[in-house]
Each structure stands twice: as structure tokens, then as C-alpha cells.
Amino acid sequence: MAKVKPLLKILASVWIVYNIAALMVMPNVSSYFGRVASKYVGPYANLVGLNAGWNFFSPDPAHPMYLKVSVNYPANEDGSYRDPLFTTYPPPDEENKVAGLTRKREWAVMRFMVIDPRRLRQIFGPWLCRQYPGAESIDMEHVVETLPLLDEAAFNKDVNLLDMSQERRYAKAAVRCDGTGDEESL
């Protein structure tokens, strides 16, 4: 009997650790770690009812999105054209790793504007015209850079993530900077 007691303690400890592992893996079985570990704890979790997902882990990161802006200028007096200015909104900010309050507001404004393309033409376009005096027209295009799934990134670890991402284009709008875009018409 004295030899059985330590063996029961070890088995009970292993069973408790295994249950805790099932409790940690099964609520987020759709994650990368959950898919890998579920083959070890999934059958047991399904049998005892620990297979319910709670979704308490953070979601996938949001896809980077921005507006590509092309500022077009009128012809010069000699008939030559000034090259258009190409920029993005919000402007890229490589030196700051943590976004400040201003940067977060720019992201929120851009996302609000692209929900309805009319806002791009009637609100955001005239604002951009005021930011670039002398512009004749402004072309805007909503771009979303898709991020690869974690499985794809792990499988292709030798490939740069930017090379695996794809640009998806959604809303487009063009605005003439002669004062015809008015917020009242929204």
C-alpha cells in the first residue's frame, strides 16, 4: 500500500495538469497553438465537455488600411504640367513604434470616411483641397493590405511578410478643388 500512494499522487498530478492544458487550449482551438495542441487534448476535451470555445484570446490583428491620394495640379502658364503629388493618408510613420493619440485619430477619420464613399467626395476631398492650395483635383483610393494567415506565415518563414501581403482596393473618389464639394449635400 505504501508504494501505491506515491503512484496515485503522480497520476493525479498528471491528470490535473492535463485538465488544465485542455482548459487552456480548447477555448481558442482556432488559434495556431490550439490547432497544433488539439490533437493531444481534443478527444479528451470532447468526451468530458471541455470543448466549448470562450474566445478570450485576442483576435487576429486588423489589416493595415490607408488612402492613396493623388494631388493633381493645373497646367502652368507655359503649358507644361506639374507632376502630381502622391501621398497616403494617414501618412506613414516609421520612426514611432507606438501610435500616439493624433495617429489614432487619423486612422479613425480615414476609416470613418471610407465607410461611405460619398464622405470621401463631399467631406474629405474638400478638406484635402484646403491642405494642398493650388491643386486642381484630388483622387483618393481606399487600400487594404491583407496580412497572411499565421499558418501561411509559419510555413513560408523564409519569405518576407510584405511580399506575402496583397493590396485590395475598395472605394475610389475624385474631387475637383474648385469649391463644388460641399458638406451640406451629404
pLDDT digit string, tens, across residues 142-178: 888 887 777 777 788 788 777 777 788 888 888 999 7
* Predicted TM-score (pTM) of this structure: 0.57
Confidence of residue 185 (pLDDT cuts 50, 70, 90): low
**Residue 101's pLDDT band (cuts 50, 70, 90):** low
Q: How confident is the model at residue 100 (pLDDT cuts 50, 70, 90)?
A: low
Query: Which residue in 166, 145, 143, 163 sits closest to 88, CA to CA?
Result: 143
Give yes or no for residue 181 having a pLDDT over 50.
no
Which residues have CB under 8 Å from 70's CB, separation 6+?
84, 85, 86, 138, 139, 140
Average pLDDT over residues 117-124: 86
Model pLDDT, residue 88: 87
- pLDDT, greater one: 168 or 9: 9
Contacts of 46 (CB under 8 A, 6+ apart): none
Name the DSSP letter for residue 82. P
Look-up of cell digits 487552456: 24
Q: Which of 18-32, 37-51, 52-66 has the lowest mean pLDDT?
A: 52-66
> Residue 60 gets which letter from DSSP?
P
Give me the pLDDT at residue 17, please: 92
